[in-house]
Amino acid sequence: MNLTDSVRVPRLPVLGWRSITARPAVAPLPAMSDGRDALLVSSGRAAIFLAMELLGIGAGDRVLVPTYHCPTMIAPIARLGAAPVFYPVDSAGSVDMNWLNSVDTTGVRAILAAHFFGLPQAMGDLRKFCDNRGIAFIEDCAHAFFGRSGTNTVGALGDFSVASLPKFFPVLEGGCLVARKPLNGPPSLAAPSALEEIRAWIDCIEVGASYARFGAPGRAFDLLASLKRRLRASTAGATAPVDEPADFGTYSQWLDERALHRRSMAASRWILEHATSPGLIERRRANYSLWTRLTKGLTQAEPLFPVLPPAAAPYVFPLRVRNPEAKYQAIRARGVPVFRWDVVWPGVPDLPGDAGRRWQTEVFQLGCHQDLDEADITRLAEIVRLEVEKE
């Protein structure tokens, strides 16, 4: 590979023949939904919204949230009229319990805490804190659908646990909401229209075909793409769901109102149940470890967590980069699947000992999902090394 070239690899898992024809794999790690009634909703952010709605959170309430966040974590709070209260994150990615124990929690109804990067956090102390203060605990497993911290499966300690399906499975939408205790009545969710269901299947197949996951796409996929364009034209007046807006605005930029009370598409539910790729966890762990080896010795960056916990199924490989601005844009421009949480909610304070504010710009979240093989990671790491080491 010429080091001036760009690459084209999927940012997230995509659908293909292998995932369709494979028998559902027996995962070597438990899933956050195992043995529990999981509500499949339209997205992870919708799952957060529904959890808070079920808790009765509204105007005048306060919700504790991490300084290190994606705005999609905070938008549901604003949508309900509540106020986010930001807490610091320590260097291990955990809630700073010393800060939490010293703060006034009057009016706080809930706390949202995440397993960042897919590395399970110990949350037993946080569970006790919430029990003692009468605060609901929402466990954010968007980065950690699988895993275990000590004896606890991720998602087991939250009053509600939420997850995002596209981060781990070859689907384009969908979230998961799990309650710790049986609900008196689950939220009423609307079914997608027949047109939306058809478009969801076509989108999944077309994306997979674009990465040659179905072999030569051939005329069949050309026809599917043509049908999708016709369906899109027939609904041209509709408002498109928002994925990742470039600039921060109001919560409406981060939430699709039409999807907050909608169940997940049939395509996502079927793929989740029948087409889980074998080796999903093993491939992610191998890719993470390969990233660690290939970024060793950099002078301008270092792995944020070089040692992968034994019971983790990573979402991304976090690399902390010095002088990150130009380097981030250059790496993105080369086609590397990289994310950064540099768009933050207004009013995030500077708190003593907080790692979250630094991570917003310095930590590059590099793809390590199961649709990337060793050759892919090697090519991507060559680009990252070149761009990161530039003066």
Write phi, then psi, for 211 (nearest 5 degrees).
-105, 20
Give the pLDDT confidence score for residue 296 in this predicted structure. Answer: 95
Question: Helix axis angle, 194-210 relative to 218-234, nearest 10°?
Answer: 140
pLDDT along the chain (391 residues), means of 10: 74 86 71 91 97 96 98 96 97 97 97 98 97 98 95 96 96 96 86 95 88 70 62 49 44 87 95 78 96 97 97 98 96 95 93 96 97 96 96 73
What is the Cα–Cα distance from 348 to 359, expressed in whole angstroms? 13
CATH superfamily of this structure's domain 280-388: Aspartate Aminotransferase, domain 1 (3.90.1150.10)
Residue 166 · residue 146 · CB < 8 Å: no
Please give the distance of CA 80 from its chain centroid, rounded to a whole number: 22
Q: State the burial class of residue 62 (Cβ atoms within 10 Å of its Cβ: 0-12, 13-18, 19+).
A: buried
Residue 238 · residue 207 · CB < 8 Å: no
Q: Looking at domain 24-179, which CATH architecture does it have?
A: 3-Layer(aba) Sandwich (3.40)
Say how many CA atoms lie within 13 Å of 23 toward its Cβ.
1
Q: Which element (helix H / strand E) includes 347?
A: none
Sequence-ordered list of residues with C-beta below 8 angstroms from that of 218, at least 6 positions apart, any chain: none
Give the pLDDT confidence score for residue 182 in this predicted structure. Answer: 83
Residue extents of the structural domains in the chain = 24-179, 280-388
What is the Cα–Cα distance from 215 to 229, expressed in whole angstroms? 22
Beta-sheet strands, E only, within the chain: 38-41, 62-66, 83-87, 108-114, 136-140, 148-149, 152-153, 160-164, 175-179, 301-303, 316-321, 338-339, 363-367
**CA distances (Å), 26 to each of 23, 31, 52, 84, in order?**
9, 11, 32, 39
Q: What SS3 class is residue 175? A: strand
Task: Work out the number of other CB atoms within 10 angstroms of the CB of residue 134.
Answer: 9
Sequence-ordered list of residues with C-beta below 8 angstroms from that of 384, at least 6 positions apart, any chain: 295, 319, 331, 336, 364, 366
Residue 370 · residue 279 · CB < 8 Å: yes
Residue 62 · residue 333 · CB < 8 Å: no
Nearest to 380 by CA among 391, 370, 390, 366: 366
Give the pLDDT confidence score for residue 80 in this predicted structure. Answer: 96
Task: Work out the number of other CB atoms within 10 angstroms of the CB of residue 210.
Answer: 15
Task: Work out the number of other CB atoms within 10 angstroms of the CB of residue 180.
Answer: 16
Give the pLDDT confidence score for residue 2 in this predicted structure. Answer: 55
Give the pLDDT confidence score for residue 245 in this predicted structure. Answer: 41
